[in-house]
């Protein structure tokens, strides 16, 4: 199951994670976000132990969304050692997302 990412746990769960973190920047009103939601949950299960998967609601966590330049959602970002190493924007298949993010 994907982890809910908030400003309260972002530093610990994302920036200081010992494994890469896939963050799904999303919103409840976003149709494409809803469409890829089940795929994000599948990835959380499939990548467990190798990649941490989290979901960050841009409406509730606007400060973090602005800090990381989220202009369109869904936006997916891979964080390694506190830095974004890969990004993908828009609804896509699981295979395309994994290819985009080099997973």
pLDDT in tens, 22-75: 999 999 999 999 999 999 999 999 999 999 999 999 999 999 999 999 999 999
Which domains does the chain carry?
A: 3-97 (3.40.30.10)
Q: Is the peptide bond before 74 cis (omega within 30 degrees of 0)?
A: yes
pTM over 0.75: yes
Per-residue pLDDT at 45: 94
Mean pLDDT, to the nearest integer, of 3-28?
97
Any idea which residues carry the catalytic annotation?
30, 33
Per-residue pLDDT at 102: 78
Tokens matching residue 6: 């908030």
């Amino acid at each position: 199951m994907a982890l809910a990412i908030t400003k309260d746990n972002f530093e610990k769960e994302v920036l200081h994670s010992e494994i890469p973190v896939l963050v799904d920047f999303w919103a409840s009103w976003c149709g494409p976000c809803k469409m890829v939601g089940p795929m994000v949950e599948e990835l959380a299960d499939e990548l467990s132990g190798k990649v941490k998967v989290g979901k960050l609601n841009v409406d509730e966590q606007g400060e973090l969304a602005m800090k990381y330049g989220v202009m369109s959602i869904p936006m997916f970002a891979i964080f390694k050692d506190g830095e974004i190493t890969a990004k993908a924007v828009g609804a896509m298949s699981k295979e395309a997302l994994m290819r985009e993010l080099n997973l």
